[in-house]
Homo-oligomer: A and B are copies of this chain.
Amino acid sequence: MTQIKPGSKIGILGGGQLGRMLAMAASRLGYRCHIFCPDVRSPAFQVASDFTIAEYENEDALLEFASSVDVATYEFENVPARTAEIVSRETLLRPGARALEVSQDRLTEKDFLNDCGVKTAPYMAFQTEEELDAAFKEIGRPSVAKTRRFGYDGKGQLMIKARKDIEGVMGMTSGVPAILEGFVAFDREISVVVARSASGDVAAFPVAENVHTNHILDTSTVPAQISEVVEAKAKVMATRIANALEYVGVMAVEMFVTDSTGEIVVNEIAPRVHNSGHWTIEGAETSQFEQHIRAICDLPLGPTDARGNVVMKNLLGEDILDFEKYLADPKAHYHHYGKQEPREGRKMGHVTWVNAEE
């Protein structure tokens, strides 16, 4: 496998906070970063040596970007397949196209996960109202209708509690390919952030327990309140998924757990560094961002141990203005993503507490 040595240049598709934190981690190891993003105000531009402002469909810009770097990666799973293909012509793309293909389509993703021997919610594809009707009969209620592509933070999702909700669903999907998933009655949401290096080494971080509010991650806590057996099972599942994809980089696997049975259902995978892994920056021996850089550059993976009890909380909108409170707290680590407008619900930063209740 090709090793990308410190001092080389890394290309990152996407200029949000994930790209920003990747670039910061890469810098410590001496890599220069080139960010590609259509948004003029991308937070990652502020911390990178080079940037390109262009659309993901701009072939010339993509080729120039790709030929200027030694390896390319991305911070979001909705990178168009054609974008990935263009970049791959000129440089290594890690993770590769397969990870994008699987994670961009909920049906492909669910099929892939079941092929891996990992349990998911029951699901059925639909496009027309007749197909939805048939799926609703099969899956039962409550169930959740989701567009197959481009959903995030609860967008493109609708709960079906009764037959009459079907009309609203067709209004949302407007006839685009979708799936109906059985609703999983779970006790906890957890996630495993796992890294697989270009050489095939795999290392999973401790499992995080996540709380979402309005479909947006609110807190991640480590260790998760699950048994050792469930913790081990979750890591094995994530490792199996990473290996099956011949994945290179850091990925996150979101799961539901039922306490009484210890059953784990995989919800979705994200082929990138993940919000539920931000706790690792101060809370683990290696951060998920550095680990991603190590993995795609084929360097040895770093140790993943937690440094104690860790809580990460997202700062949305004007939460970011409470910096004085967090900076005065000796156990808190305040992160501000450099975004100028604190719009409601926008991820502006996060705080991580390490061993705050010692």
A97 lies within 8 A of chain B by Cβ: no
- Looking across the interface, which residue of chain B has its beta carbon closest to that of A285? B330
- Looking across the interface, which residue of chain B has its beta carbon closest to that of A335? B28
The answer to whether B29 and A336 have CB atoms under 8 Å apart is yes
A27 lies within 8 A of chain B by Cβ: yes
Please name all residues of chain B whose beta carbon is closer than 8 Å to the beta carbon of A150 when the two chains form the complex. Answer: none
A300 lies within 8 A of chain B by Cβ: yes
Interface residues of A in 11-34 (CB under 8 A from B): 20, 23-24, 27-33
Please name all residues of chain B whose beta carbon is closer than 8 Å to the beta carbon of A31 when the two chains form the complex. Answer: 336, 338
A5 lies within 8 A of chain B by Cβ: yes
Please name all residues of chain B whose beta carbon is closer than 8 Å to the beta carbon of A302 when the two chains form the complex. Answer: 327, 330
Q: Which of A45-53, A156-164, A247-255 contacts B (4 or more CB under 8 A)?
A: A45-53
Known A46-B49, A47-B49, A327-B294; judge A29-B285 contact (CB<8 A).
Answer: no
The answer to whether B6 and A336 have CB atoms under 8 Å apart is yes
The answer to whether A27 and B46 have CB atoms under 8 Å apart is yes
The answer to whether B349 and A327 have CB atoms under 8 Å apart is no
The CA of A184 and the CA of B46, in the complex, are separated in Å by 47
The answer to whether A323 and B336 have CB atoms under 8 Å apart is no
A337 lies within 8 A of chain B by Cβ: yes
Interface residues of A in 317-358 (CB under 8 A from B): 320, 323-324, 327-328, 330, 334-338, 340, 349
1/0 contact string of A44-72 vs chain B (CB within 8 Å): 01111100000000000000000000000
The answer to whether B28 and A46 have CB atoms under 8 Å apart is no
Copy number in the complex reads: 2
The answer to whether A7 and B340 have CB atoms under 8 Å apart is yes
A211 lies within 8 A of chain B by Cβ: no
Q: How large is the interface on A (under 10, 10 to 19, 20 to 34, 35 or more residues)?
A: 35 or more
A303 lies within 8 A of chain B by Cβ: yes
The CA of A5 and the CA of B322, in the complex, are separated in Å by 11
The answer to whether B337 and A30 have CB atoms under 8 Å apart is yes
- How far is the CB of A318 from the nearest CB of chain B, in Å? 12
Known A300-B324, A300-B328; judge A47-B27 contact (CB<8 A).
Answer: yes
- How far is the CB of A107 from the nearest CB of chain B, in Å? 39
Instruction: Identify which of A24, A303, A327, A328 gathers the most chain B CB atoms within 10 Å of its CB.
Output: A327
A230 lies within 8 A of chain B by Cβ: no
Please name all residues of chain B whose beta carbon is closer than 8 Å to the beta carbon of A299 when the two chains form the complex. Answer: 323-324, 327
The answer to whether B285 and A300 have CB atoms under 8 Å apart is no
- How far is the CB of A222 from the nearest CB of chain B, in Å? 18
The answer to whether B327 and A303 have CB atoms under 8 Å apart is no
- How far is the CB of A190 from the nearest CB of chain B, in Å? 25
The answer to whether A330 and B349 have CB atoms under 8 Å apart is no
The CA of A340 and the CA of B6, in the complex, are separated in Å by 10
Q: Which 9 A-B pairs have the closest CB atoms?
A: A30-B336, A46-B49, A303-B330, A300-B328, A6-B336, A27-B47, A300-B327, A30-B338, A299-B327
What are 23 A-B pairs with beta-carbon distances under 8 A? A5-B323, A6-B323, A7-B338, A7-B340, A24-B24, A24-B27, A24-B28, A24-B47, A29-B334, A29-B335, A30-B335, A30-B349, A31-B338, A33-B46, A45-B49, A46-B48, A47-B47, A294-B327, A299-B323, A299-B324, A300-B327, A302-B327, A303-B330
Task: Given contact pairs A7-B340, A30-B337, A46-B48, enumerate 16 new A-B contacts (beta carbons under 8 Å).
Answer: A27-B46, A27-B47, A27-B338, A28-B336, A29-B334, A29-B335, A30-B335, A31-B336, A31-B338, A32-B46, A32-B338, A47-B47, A285-B330, A294-B327, A299-B324, A300-B324
